[in-house]
Chain A
Amino acid sequence: MRVIPVDKVKPGMVTDRAVIGPGGEVLLSRGVKINGYYLKRLKEIGIPAVYIRDHNIGNVEYDEVISEQTRQEALRVSKDVMDSIRLSSDFDLKKVNKIVDELISELLVSKDLLVALVDMRAANDTSFYHGVNTTVLSVITGIALGYDIEKLGQLACGALFHDIGIIMLPPELLKRQAPLSAEENEKIMKHPELGFEILRKKEGVSLMSAHVALQHHEKFDGTGYPRGLTGDEISEFARLVAITAIYDDLASVGSETSRVLPHQAIEYLTIHSGKWFDPEILQVFFGTIAVFPLGTPVLLNSGETALVTRVNKKFPTRPVVRVFKNRTGAKVFPPFEIDLAKNPAYFIQKILANDEP
């Protein structure tokens, strides 16, 4: 399994993870041979990179934290909710509760897993994909914080719709590339309040969830908006989603060169700890993500080239890697694996570019 930028993908390559389109639909499922037509579509849609199966390296077994089916359903429900709010300012809460319950129960089962894959998507993607990813990251963090089912439900609902206010903004404003005028910026900064109004009015939605929408742009030191709250004045859920939402934007959106690797995201978030983010929640969150996602090609200090094939929750920087090139660059066939947690003399010296298959 290798992450290959779409412009390096060649017809005949086989996907090793489903490719999801901008509407949340499956463009290509796992195990599909890519042909010229598919490749053209991927480029048109702006998918930055895909997971490709590499026969020289062999199969990589992995567990997703949620099933592809549940992810799909969550995307579909989010889309329906947004469409329905646009039309009637209302939505079907039963459907939302059902998918939230499903997400939580799956995440409780996989609580020993790390988020070890990256969801790559185009920069112009609609916000509900971001909502679903943020929800997954938030619930995992909530589980790590010891939340009960009820709290997880409120958190999940808030995370899923933290950006819901955006649909009340003029669509042409959202499509505009930066820089925005001061006036336009001010409009965008209204989305927390707009979202809060939608959720607050909906019967059955917890006020705790609504506050996630209202406060997710507040910053720990009081420099956020809309109200400039500090520390504990911001609800814990909102402090949590402020972290997961930014992390998802950093790690998932954009091209191969503009996306940020998890270890870089950790550095970035930590630098802003105590200023933008709650330090305690941040540390718990770091325990849930893989520093080196599966399929990351790395150079070991031994000079060998390897691929990350299994993550290690206890030692996040010491995954199992599969050596496929020796120190002279010659192919190692069949490859073999080194568990870095058990072999302290070996360490990852560099992350290599996802350039060649």
Chain B
Amino acid sequence: MDVVNDKPEKLNILYLVCSTLFRENNEAAYTTICKEICKELKIHCCSIWLKVTNGQQRLGYFEKDGSPDDLTLSNLDFEISKHIMEQKAPVIKDLPLKAMGIPILYDNSVVGSITCYYQDRNNDGLPEVIKDIATELAFGVEQFKYNFTTARQQNLRKELDTARDIQQSLLPNQMPKIQGITLGARTIPTHETSGDYYDFIITDHQNLGIVIGDVMGKGVPAALFMAIARTVTRSVVRHDLAPNAALSEINSSLFPDLSTQGMFLTMFYALYNPLQKALLYASAGHNPPLILEDSSEKISFLKSRGIFIGGRPKLSYALQTRKLGPGDIVLFYTDGLTEAQNFRGEQFGIEKVAEVLKGYRYCEVPAIIDCLSMRVMQFIGDREQSDDITFVVLKAE
């Protein structure tokens, strides 16, 4: 029964993985590999996944007698593979079937996962085989992403992808819980890295700092400055500095580096005080956030004058205050939202944004975010999105 320790079988399957991927590196090949693994190792099901920015893509899947009428295993497999890639660790589980999966590593980073599902089988030796298969798969899975590019482009793309992954990981992945308000945020990135960013900081006095910024320009330089701006901003605002003073400070810190590169960034910084239910804010040339008053349904803007960061060595900003009433909604955004274009070259525009916000004002924050992003993507249609779209929604209770 124990075929795994049987050397010829093991060599067989490794040869097969290697030769299949040598011929072609596509989904069909991975499905074939899964099928052969099931056959050779006498297991019920096998899957191979690729890790992508913010998600995962199924490369291959085979399930004995699998049919769309029973998706139990196929559904479970999504969650298990996610778990493996997130935890960067193997998973062994006793489900109705036994599951064993491991991350596929390339250059010490997770590029995918492979999982086997089997019934009442002595799994002696299986982990070793799966590990060998994963090693054999690693290069192919890594290459899959860059299938249609030349070797030189591949290296470039890979570095850009890494930059983008790092950049995405710099955005908060969890919303802070603050009494009296709910928060949500979304970034819809383009294929390139860019300089959009937002951040939430709980200050020393338990106030909430909300930052949204946009580094002018694209690509790696913008992403680098975004990372620097984030670090500087975090350390500056932590001590409950008034937003106007904070922006001056951030400008002074960043100006030398920005000016030598001829770069600049716009930034809006708001400090929310949960006790007074008020926003203190200042703007460094950033689009004024939109506020929808629940009681009057009136739309207004959190306007504040100020020059973008990197404009001059010393800058001062105006401080503004705004009290929030129950049900009020504030939308912070970058110009990617309002300047999103459809195939006719028309812009989505602030009026449309305001209209959508009004139309979903009774919804909870996650639903407002989902509906607004769907409306703007529906508007863009088949045209390629040219700029990152980033927005933060705050709703007062």
Contact = CB atoms under 8 A, between A and B. Distances in A.
Given A56-B68, A317-B370, A317-B371, A332 B58 contact: yes
Contacts of B78: 336-338
A225 interface: no
B57 A315 contact: no
A346 B186 contact: no
Contacts of B351: none
B343 interface: no
Given A326-B27, A330-B27, A58 B374 contact: no
B11 interface: no
B377 A58 contact: no
Given A336-B77, A350-B377, A302 B57 contact: yes
A352 to B, nearest CB: 10
Interface string B368-389: 0011011001100000000000
B66 interface: yes
Interface string B27-46: 10000000000000000000
B363 A336 contact: no
B61 interface: yes
A346 B188 CA distance: 11
Interface string B62-96: 01001111110011011100100000000000000
Contacts of A210: none
Contacts of B70: 58
A323 B56 CA distance: 12
Contacts of B82: 343
Interface stretch (B101-109, B232-240, B353-361): B353-361
B58 A318 contact: no
Contacts of B362: 270, 273, 279, 282-283, 286
B366 interface: yes
Contacts of B9: none
A58 B359 contact: no
A322 interface: yes
A42 to B, nearest CB: 26
B150 interface: no
Interface in A338-357: 338, 342-343, 345-351
Contacts of A274: 297
Contact of A322 (B71, B358, B370): B71
B246 to A, nearest CB: 29
Contacts of A279: 362
Contacts of A351: 374, 378
Given A348-B370, A350-B374, A301 B188 contact: yes
A334 B78 CA distance: 12
Contact of B366 (A273, A317, A326, A345): A317
Contacts of A58: 67-71
Given A326-B57, A347-B186, A335 B74 contact: yes
Interface residues of B, number: 40
Contacts of B75: 336-337
B370 A266 contact: no
Nearest to B378: A350
A332 B186 CA distance: 28
Contacts of A338: 78
A59 interface: yes
B66 A334 contact: yes
Contacts of A348: 370, 374
A79 to B, nearest CB: 36
Contacts of B367: 291, 315-317
Interface residues on A, range: 35 or more
Given A59-B69, A263-B374, A334 B54 contact: no
A338 B77 CA distance: 10
A349 B375 CA distance: 8
Interface in A52-89: 55-59
Nearest to A274: B297
Interface in A164-182: none
B360 A335 contact: no
A267 B55 CA distance: 30
A333 interface: yes
Contacts of B355: 271
B159 to A, nearest CB: 22
Interface string A264-284: 001110110110000100110
Contacts of B186: 347
B318 interface: no
A338 B54 CA distance: 14
Contacts of B364: 315
A335 to B, nearest CB: 6
A271 B74 contact: no
A266 B363 contact: yes
Contact of B71 (A326, A336, A346): A336
A327 interface: yes
B52 A302 contact: yes
Given A274-B297, A330-B27, A351-B374, A318 B67 contact: no
A123 to B, nearest CB: 25
A92 B63 CA distance: 59
A286 B363 CA distance: 8
B358 A271 contact: yes
Contacts of A263: 371, 374
A268 B362 CA distance: 12
20 contacts: A57-B68, A58-B70, A58-B71, A59-B68, A267-B359, A270-B360, A273-B362, A283-B362, A302-B52, A316-B367, A317-B363, A326-B57, A327-B57, A334-B74, A336-B61, A342-B79, A343-B55, A343-B82, A349-B188, A350-B378
Which 7 residue pairs across A and B have the least CB separation, nearest first? A58-B68, A267-B359, A317-B370, A345-B54, A336-B74, A337-B75, A317-B367
Interface of A: 55-59, 263, 266-268, 270-271, 273-274, 279, 282-283, 286, 291, 301-302, 304, 315-318, 322-323, 326-327, 330, 332-338, 342-343, 345-351
Given A266-B360, A334-B63, A349-B377, 10 more contacts: A57-B68, A58-B69, A59-B69, A267-B360, A270-B361, A317-B363, A317-B367, A317-B370, A336-B78, A350-B377
Interface of B: 27, 52, 54-55, 57-58, 61, 63, 66-71, 74-75, 77-79, 82, 186, 188, 297, 355-356, 358-364, 366-367, 370-371, 373-374, 377-378
